[in-house]
Structure 1
Amino acid sequence: MTIHAIGYANPVLPGFYPDPSITRAGDDFYMVCSSFEYFPAVPIFRSRNLVDWEQIGHVLDRDSQLDLRARRSSDGIYAPTLRYHDGTFYMITTDVYGIGNFYVTTQDPAGPWSDPILVPYGGIDPSLFFDDDGKVYVTAQQGADYDSHAIQYEIDIATGKALSEPVVIWRGDGGPWTEGPHLYKINGMYYIMSASGGTAKDHREIIGRSASPYGPFELYPHPILTHRGIEHPIQYLGHADLVDDMNGDWWAVFLGVRLVDSGYSVLGRETFLAPVTWNDEGWPMIDNNEGTVNLDMRVKRLPGTPERIKSGPMALFEGKDDFDEPKLRHGWTFLRNPAEGSWSLTEREGWLTLRGQSAGLNDVGQVAFVGRRQQHVRAEWRTLLEFGAIRDGEEAGICARRDEDAHYEIFLKQEDGRKMIGARLTVRGESKLAAEVPVHADSVYLKISSDVTGYSLSYSLDGLEWIRLGKGAAKPLSPEDFVNKMCFTGVLIGFYASGNGKPASGSASFDWFETRIGKEEEI
């Protein structure tokens, strides 16, 4: 009998979806990713076949769970771990510079989830492991750089209270940044798996095993996942999690980056999927510089019986959002916890309304911003903005945002009682006005286009004839172009409004948001 291979496309979660963690409940798979300064936090996805992922919500969606109002970009929520045990889902993570390590629980992964239960030890990247004897362990990263290692201790899962002192169980392979540790029990052996080398060109996934959950762990002498030694369109592979399916097959989800020729990516770290094979010595293998993790994958089978395997993931957004539903679609996210009254879908039916706060895009605070992850290098985003009765200094528009130090926007603003359309480029913390033109209109069409080299910022008064006001290079919006503080996020495209130093008097209304993928436009 001929077995026909099944194809699927990587990444399975395109755009800024790093540090994936996965679990299975029956025939359903669930996955979460890091979200850093964005709120609601920790997007959660569901799939039946590991390829087509549908976002079903966010784990942390209430102020009582998470307060990001003072968090700088690339702080906030790091590396969650998702686990399912005995009818309950658990998500454990770190609120960096906040409440530290904690977990939340639910019986319904679509939510609501509980308020945080704190755990006492560990730096970042905590993971939960439920052993056969009923014991529950927290395994977490501790230390920095070459001193980075994994600690472990037992907890009371009902309260988070430690039942044992933390013990160092894993120091990795001698490289820096031993992170994202996960403990598993497979065929009677305990495996500890972690990233090493830092989340860039030397990134890799390593593994050890032992007859005891506390080790000592025998280190497998080679990475089980890395592309650090080969030229390949996918780089930075690591920070993986394992899951088995209903057929007894094993899989890994992990982060990777699709670098352009100049060695950067505005999309940031994305989520990839690959099959796991077990060698004769009982070690799991994914891709140690073999190049088997590709953009186009072929496997013998996938779990479930899907009607089809799409050429692109369900989590990909394309088309038009008319804001005609009572809630924002799950793909939208705010910059930190939004201020009360700063946004609405009901103030003007069929429109998304933002009321500018005193903070702007260069500030750390409650900025009136709501956006979606950029998921393709070549794309175009359009909207219709109405911004009527406002005071001098107020502005609103559409923005390509990496963080406070890097963003491009095209906007409508009032100065000296006159309306102006402007294009602004912020690179490495310095903002420059690319162009500004007067208009006699309260309603304008705005557009951002991108390709491999950069972004263009355009406007139209009729939606047909477009005038480009500015253009900016792509690399300054990439995580690789940070100056003083490492950047862990990719670009989001979204709406914003600001009073530039004081709360705005008027509201900015956006009628729709349209994404067109693969548009060819000279930047």
Structure 2
Amino acid sequence: MTPRPVVPGFHPDPSVVRVGDTYWMVHSSFEYAPGVPLYRSPDLVTWEQAGHVLARPSQLDVSAAPGSGGITAPTIRHHDGRFWMVTTNLADGGWQVLTSAEDPLGDWSDPVRLTGVRGIDPDLAWDDDGTLLVSYAGFGAGGPAGLVQQAVDPVTGAALTERRPLWQGTGGRFPEGPHLYRVGALWYLLIAEGGTERGHAVTIARGHSPAGPFEPCPSNPLLTHRGVESPVQNTGHADLVQRPDGSWAILFHGVRPRGASPQFHVLGRETFAAEVEWVDGWPRLGEWLTPPDGAVEVSDDLSGPAWVAPRRFPGELLTRVEGGWRLTAADPDPASEDLAVVGRRQEHEDALFRAVVRASDGVGGLTVRIDARHHLDLEVEGDRVRAVAQVGALRSVLGEAAVPPGDDVVLEIRTLPGEGHFSSTALAPDVLVAGLAGAGGSTELGRLDGRYVSTEVAGGMTGRLGGVWCARGELLVRSTTYRGADAPAAV
């Protein structure tokens, strides 16, 4: 069976905790708001988005975040009757954000800032005496300082100790993403190393104290796909969790690249899961947990938890009106990175985004983007609809058509499989096709090689987002539809 993600489409850096019979998981969200998507599951395979941890402006400021800036690598834990989440906000100068809640479905507290913790990928663990230990990838004046640990006051955020070095891994670059666990009489330190690209790996060590020294597992790495023939690559940044029956599992991210060498991934880093067996006191990777395949179709009204916006909350851009939603331009400059965009993640290899819009009072339409400089748009302005590709600094009109001014327009962007031989550089991960839909069928206005809306071309840490946008004035959004599957015929 081909491995499939348990949470597909741009859900990297998973962290998971079990409370009772329910599992809770969080992910990085970078420049998008709300921040830190929160999922729950009864079985580690079927996941439902329950909301966001950083769900209001008082908790999250990513207004200054560049592409792939903002919120990175959260950790979620449960201690002394409360849920705790810590993450790093690289966009507001405050570094670590620590928040908590008795009920994860309710309001999480306004953040406490850990001002003495300078780095990324913070972890939470409590020593035997109840002291909160934060382990993380430290930064210093000269750059990365390796994996370090400090005791922290969770009420004030003050560091109680100087940082001390931890195990630095097996020699891979960028040791990061530490998670510390007490298992029996030993403490285990799980980390990521090798970088989050093709060299990514998960390694583990153990010791008698949470401060070390740590003995590396003799069969490291616990998980890696470097140099392995697999449809899933870049596997790493993991978290372990124990089931009620005592068995264990691991959640980790990976990508599904396609197209010609070096291949391209367009969905971002997705979350996968596998069984874990313990052998001679060490975890070993077991069978992957794979949800069933199947087509998905979602029609909603822009208010659900799947909808996010770059550098702003959707509520700052959208207003509910009779017959739909009014999306108001955030900046009059159409070249600005601050265009009003509200979208949802592309979660399947083959997908269709549709929006019914009216642009009588502005300019806007439908987009599929990976960042502000790499996207394919359908732009409605007056009596014209244009398919426009943005690739870096280059902006090109691929085609256009006339439409009745002031009428509703049905816009569609869908993906098609890339065509060609695997040894040909012409083989794309997919092809994006933009057009109009109507009673007489679809009218194609333009198509774009999918590699130009991929991480390998755009760079960064995110995946594709599809949604509506407005560059000037207001756009009336009547409805949206997302259809996705991992088989083109199903879409």
Of 314, 321, 324, the match for 1:347? 321
Structure 2: which amino acid aligns with 1:378? D
Structure 2: which amino acid aligns with 1:10? R
SS of residue paired to 2:321? coil
- Structure 1 residue 249: Cα displacement: 0.5
SS of residue paired to 1:475? helix
Separation in 2 of the partners of 1:360 and 1:191?
A: 52
Aligned to 2:292: 311
Of 442, 458, 461, the match for 1:466? 442
User: CA 1:340 to 1:451, structure 2 compared with 1: closer, same or farther past 3 Å?
Assistant: closer
2:364 is aligned with 1:396:
yes
How many residues align structurally? 470
2:19 is aligned with 1:25:
yes
Contact 1:369 / 1:497 at 8 angstroms: preserved in 2? yes
SS of residue paired to 2:160? coil
Separation in 1 of the partners of 2:335 and 2:17?
A: 38
Aligned to 2:402: 438
Contact 2:40 / 2:50 at 8 angstroms: preserved in 1? yes
Structure 2: which amino acid aligns with 1:285? R
Structure 2: which amino acid aligns with 1:451? L
Aligned to 1:131: 127
2:160 is aligned with 1:163:
yes
The CA RMSD over aligned residues, in Å, is 2.2
User: CA 1:108 to 1:339, structure 2 compared with 1: closer, same or farther past 3 Å?
Assistant: closer
SS of residue paired to 1:286? strand
Contact 1:373 / 1:492 at 8 angstroms: preserved in 2? yes
Separation in 2 of the partners of 1:357 and 1:129?
A: 41
Of 324, 327, 333, the match for 2:308? 333
Structure 1: which amino acid aligns with 2:264? Y
User: CA 1:339 to 1:493, structure 2 compared with 1: closer, same or farther past 3 Å?
Assistant: closer
Separation in 1 of the partners of 2:2 and 2:172?
A: 33
Aligned to 1:421: 385
Contact 2:33 / 2:314 at 8 angstroms: preserved in 1? no
Separation in 2 of the partners of 1:242 and 1:458?
A: 45
Separation in 2 of the partners of 1:141 and 1:451?
A: 40
Separation in 2 of the partners of 1:257 and 1:438?
A: 40
Give the 5 Å matches for 1:267-416: 267-280=267-280, 282-286=281-285, 293=288, 297=290, 311-312=292-293, 318-323=296-301, 328-338=303-313, 342-344=317-319, 346-349=320-323, 351-358=324-331, 362-365=335-338, 367-388=339-360, 390=361, 394-414=362-382
Structure 2: which amino acid aligns with 1:284? P
Aligned to 1:457: 434
Separation in 2 of the partners of 1:514 and 1:339?
A: 18
- Measured against aligned partners, the alpha-carbon deviations of 1:231-258 in whole angstroms (never above 9, x if no partner) come to 1111111000011010100110000111
Contact 2:16 / 2:75 at 8 angstroms: preserved in 1? yes
Unaligned 5+ segments in structure 1 are 1-6, 298-309
- Structure 1 residue 430: Cα displacement: 1.8
Separation in 1 of the partners of 2:54 and 2:122?
A: 16
Aligned to 2:456: 480
Contact 1:380 / 1:517 at 8 angstroms: preserved in 2? no
Contact 1:207 / 1:219 at 8 angstroms: preserved in 2? yes
Contact 1:383 / 1:511 at 8 angstroms: preserved in 2? yes
**TM-score scaled by length of structure 2:** 0.91
Give the 5 Å matches for 1:254-273: 254-262=252-260, 263-273=263-273
Contact 2:308 / 2:314 at 8 angstroms: preserved in 1? no
- Structure 1 residue 8: Cα displacement: 10
Contact 1:386 / 1:444 at 8 angstroms: preserved in 2? yes
**TM-score scaled by length of structure 1:** 0.85
Contact 2:357 / 2:475 at 8 angstroms: preserved in 1? no
- Structure 1 residue 353: Cα displacement: 2.3
Give the 5 Å matches for 1:46-57: 46-57=40-51
Of 220, 226, 229, the match for 1:228? 226
- Structure 1 residue 265: Cα displacement: 1.2
Of 89, 96, 116, the match for 1:95? 89
Contact 1:265 / 1:479 at 8 angstroms: preserved in 2? yes
Give the 5 Å matches for 1:138-217: 138-143=134-139, 149-217=146-214
User: CA 1:507 to 1:12, structure 2 compared with 1: closer, same or farther past 3 Å?
Assistant: same
User: CA 1:491 to 1:261, structure 2 compared with 1: closer, same or farther past 3 Å?
Assistant: same
Separation in 1 of the partners of 2:107 and 2:127?
A: 26
- Measured against aligned partners, the alpha-carbon deviations of 1:372-393 in whole angstroms (never above 9, x if no partner) come to 11011212222211222x2xxx
Provide runs of 4+ in structure 1 moved above 6 Å.
Answer: none
- Measured against aligned partners, the alpha-carbon deviations of 1:242-286 in whole angstroms (never above 9, x if no partner) come to 110101001100001111142211111000000111112x11112
**% identity of equivalent residues:** 36
Greater strand fraction, Structure 1 or Structure 2: 2
Contact 2:349 / 2:484 at 8 angstroms: preserved in 1? no
User: CA 1:116 to 1:397, structure 2 compared with 1: closer, same or farther past 3 Å?
Assistant: same
Separation in 2 of the partners of 1:361 and 1:29?
A: 43
- Structure 1 residue 107: Cα displacement: 0.7
- Measured against aligned partners, the alpha-carbon deviations of 1:352-377 in whole angstroms (never above 9, x if no partner) come to 32112226675333x32111110112
2:105 is aligned with 1:110:
yes
Separation in 2 of the partners of 1:363 and 1:207?
A: 44
- Structure 1 residue 169: Cα displacement: 1.2
Unaligned 5+ segments in structure 2 are 418-429
- Measured against aligned partners, the alpha-carbon deviations of 1:169-202 in whole angstroms (never above 9, x if no partner) come to 1212122111101111111111111100100110
- Structure 1 residue 410: Cα displacement: 0.9
SS of residue paired to 1:239? strand
Aligned to 1:509: 477
User: CA 1:115 to 1:463, structure 2 compared with 1: closer, same or farther past 3 Å?
Assistant: farther
- Measured against aligned partners, the alpha-carbon deviations of 1:14-34 in whole angstroms (never above 9, x if no partner) come to 111000000011111100000
SS of residue paired to 2:96? strand
Separation in 1 of the partners of 2:206 and 2:304?
A: 42
Contact 2:193 / 2:201 at 8 angstroms: preserved in 1? yes
